[in-house]
Chains A and B, each alone.
Chain A
């Protein structure tokens, strides 16, 4: 009888002291995100969102995502709203995801513009923002632990291979005068600042002879091209979103202008889109970032590029959503979330942030190495500088030209 009495006393205490496990696990992990199905940023948002959905479908088909805090697999419920590329709408919807839907994981829309409104909101609500591709450097500060960048290198270091090529290899090729035209937004504005800084610090004799910003909404570059020509540059850098690159390259063709060297971002990130709108002739010999969608990284987690492309083609073969780097970025976001949940102590947002720190530098996806710095900025997955060269009658292929360690060919300069 005394034993029964003791058991009755001790049992509740033992139960209370037991670690939180399956009994407290939520029925689903709510992942909230936005996408833009229309508007200016639909072209970069829909591929990211579609890539992310592939991850959601796959992880749920496997029974859910493993969450270490509960030591079990839990299905993922995706809560996604359409911000129509409107930052005011996005702001309202992020707020709704946090306060009404009470999501466990908050994932930003694609690109710096649609991510920028989420950064202060997430911080105010003490919610970790999983930033897919918003690389604006001012998002990442030492006093804000509520953000982590997944799939793109932060804009303050992304253009380093380009700047290093210009300042290290450039003088040997005859490159001394560089023109830079950039769209004035967080993404390309920060990259422009970085290029300026790297060129100045290199002190190699390469100088910026033209350096101008232009509104992101610009659709015609004829005047800008005329001004750049007047500066007689040896190399031209154009930093803009996909619609800016398309317009710039089209206007070059229409004006019959060729520069000795031209760098643009989206011939690399969305090659298929640029081929459709500008044509192979329009992007031949253009320098660009070599994206993970073109490099066969050997992942130790998740699908490789060939497998991912197969899954993509099964779902999106109608061509309405472009396959490219952004589709890989969305899938990579899912993988990073999966990895973080597999080590997190709880679903507390700071514990999640700590989980991302724990997994940093420890796994490779089809996007390359996942590595973040103390501010949450992505510093792995740096994209080499490449050049698109003719491949057959109407095609182009990537040649990686810098850094030398990963180069697969020599740069063609000046462009024929």
Chain B
């Protein structure tokens, strides 16, 4: 490789990683919101992304709806469907002695059920939405060429981050949510309806996963019922790197994840999956509370 090739590769990895990483920030955002509010580990997070992807796929196949239109009804649909799901699963879970550990087992089982049902309903064949449904061709950013679909997906991710920021910091509901995130028991004692706040956060968190799913055919390329597990693992890496329980730290985690992944794809492609998890291990060893340093995990 010449010096020019190396410099070009670095530039591509940084810019591409930023764009790709913003999408992973969106994937992790909802997961971190749920963990931050409820301290539960949602191992079915990737499966909700999968369901969102299938919703977008069928909306396009059957109704010709653009993913940009699907995003809105997928968000509303999943928020409405998962709001009552909270009341079904979580309150009993939170009464347990170790709800964090129990939630791992519960949501792992839930993930398997969702995947199995999706396989029965949709079959095992790969599905995708053609790129032209969103945009055609590449776009030049800082001298590097990227698919327009990537840029649009990153744009939606940024919009989602902005939505969460405005929700958490500029709405009454958001203040209450942050109060619950800081100290749940104290929030109860001050009269906050903790379950209602948590249910709303749960619904928003899973709806954000489904929104990420709408763009999965463009960022992750193919959609199958089995895709959820890998996505859940990646999203955990993102939120741990950023900061567990800090939804806005997810942006940093996603961007770092994306850039490290792109670097490895550029220079050591056979080991591309390795670096993001090495970064995760390094963060856990050197800064266990995540890069933004907020102590949200109890011992």
Contacts and interface: CB of A to CB of B under 8 A. Distances in A.
A330 to B, nearest CB: 15
Contact of B125 (A218, A227, A321): A321
A314 interface: no
A201 B13 CA distance: 36
Contacts of A212: 269-270
Interface string B1-21: 000010011001100100010
Nearest to B123: A320
A301 to B, nearest CB: 30
Contacts of B219: 220
Interface string B257-269: 0000010011001
Nearest to A253: B131
Nearest to B274: A215
B123 A217 contact: no
A24 interface: no
B222 interface: yes
Contacts of A218: 265, 272
A37 interface: yes
Contacts of A251: 147, 221
Nearest to B217: A250
A46 B226 CA distance: 14
A316 B235 CA distance: 36
B20 to A, nearest CB: 7
Contacts of A279: 130
A39 B131 contact: no
A247 interface: yes
A223 B144 CA distance: 11
Interface in A318-335: 318-322
A226 B9 CA distance: 9
A255 B270 contact: no
B116 A254 contact: no
Contacts of B32: none
A313 to B, nearest CB: 16
Contacts of B224: 42-43, 243
B146 interface: yes
B230 interface: yes
A184 interface: yes
Contacts of B150: 222, 254
B221 A226 contact: no
Nearest to A242: B126
Contact of B266 (A43, A184, A217, A227): A227
Given A220-B20, A220-B221, A319-B123, A85 B128 contact: no
A214 B221 contact: no
Given A42-B124, A214-B272, A254 B222 contact: no
A319 B20 CA distance: 33
B16 to A, nearest CB: 6
Given A222-B147, A223-B16, A254 B218 contact: yes
A356 B130 CA distance: 45
B116 A38 contact: yes
Given A42-B124, A246-B128, A322-B125, A255 B221 contact: no
Contacts of B269: 212-214, 223-224
Given A218-B272, A222-B147, A222-B150, A247 B221 contact: yes
A4 interface: no
B226 A40 contact: yes
A12 interface: no
A143 B136 CA distance: 54
B46 to A, nearest CB: 13
A38 B119 contact: yes
A256 to B, nearest CB: 4
Contacts of B225: 38
B265 A223 contact: yes
B273 interface: yes
Nearest to A84: B226
B16 A222 contact: yes
Contact of B270 (A42, A43, A46, A214): A214
Interface string A285-304: 00000000000000000000
Interface string A143-179: 0000000000000000000000000000000000000
A408 interface: no
Given A37-B124, A273-B126, A219 B226 contact: no
Interface in B105-158: 115-116, 119, 122-128, 130-131, 136-138, 145-150
B166 interface: no
Given A213-B269, A255-B147, A278-B128, 8 more contacts: A42-B119, A42-B124, A212-B269, A250-B128, A250-B131, A255-B138, A255-B145, A320-B124
6 contacts: A40-B226, A43-B224, A215-B270, A230-B8, A256-B138, A277-B127
